[in-house]
Amino acid sequence: MDLRAKLQAATKEAMKAKDNARLSTLRLISAAIKDREIAARGERGDEASLGDADLIAILSRMVKQSQESAKAYEEGGRLELAQKEEDEIAVVREFLPRQMNDAEIADAVDRIVSDLGASSIRDMGRVMAELRTRHAGQMDFGAVGAMVKARLLH
C-alpha cells in the first residue's frame, strides 16, 4: 500500500472512531499534499501526482515545523499548545519511514563516502545529495551535515 492510500485509510478510520484530534492532523496532511500538488501542476503544467518521496518530504517538513512551533510554545509558557503540536508530530511520524539511530547514520555516511570516493570537504554536497536520495525521511539532514563534515575532514 502506497503512502497516499495509507493516509486515506487512516483518515477513514479516524472518522469512524470519531478521533477528532487525529482526524484534524490527517486533514492537515491532506491539505499540505494538495497544496504541493497544485504548486507542482503550475510548475509543470500537467496533472502528474506526487510520488512517495515527495510525500515523505512534505511530512518531514511538517514535523520540523511542528517541532519549532512546540519549542516556541514551551518557551512562551503555552504548554497546552506545545502538547497539541507534539500530538500532531506523533500522528505525522506514523507515516514516515523509521528514523535511523546514530550508529545506523554513521554507517550510512561511511558507506556513501566510500562509494563516492569522497575525500575532502569539497565532496560534502555530493555526499549529502546521495544521503537524501538513499535515506529520504529517515534522518535529520541538518544534524547529519555536521557528521558528514567531521567525517570528510578526518
Mention the CATH class of domain 102-153: mainly alpha
Cell of 106: 554513521
Is 102-153 in the same CATH topology as 3-93? no
Identify the CATH assignment for 3-93 out of 1.10.10.350, 1.10.490.10, 1.10.1510.10, 1.20.120.330: 1.10.1510.10
Angle between helices 20-44 and 79-93 (to 10 degrees): 60
148 phi and psi angles, rounded to 5 deg: -65, -45
How many CB atoms are located within 10 Å of the residue 114 CB?
9
Instruction: Encode pLDDT of 31-83 as tens digits.
Output: 999 998 888 877 766 656 778 878 888 998 899 899 999 999 999 999 999 99
Q: What is the pLDDT of residues 102-150, one digit of tens each?
A: 889 989 999 998 998 888 889 899 999 998 888 877 887 878 888 888 8
* Backbone CA torsion sign across 116, 122, 124, 126: negative
pLDDT of 12 higher than 90: yes
Q: Where along the chain do its domains lie? A: 3-93, 102-153
Q: Which of 87, 40, 80, 31 is nearest to 63 (CA)?
A: 87
C-alpha cell at 51: 510520488
What contacts 42, CB < 8 A, 6 or more positions away? none
Cell of residue 70, nine digits: 512546540
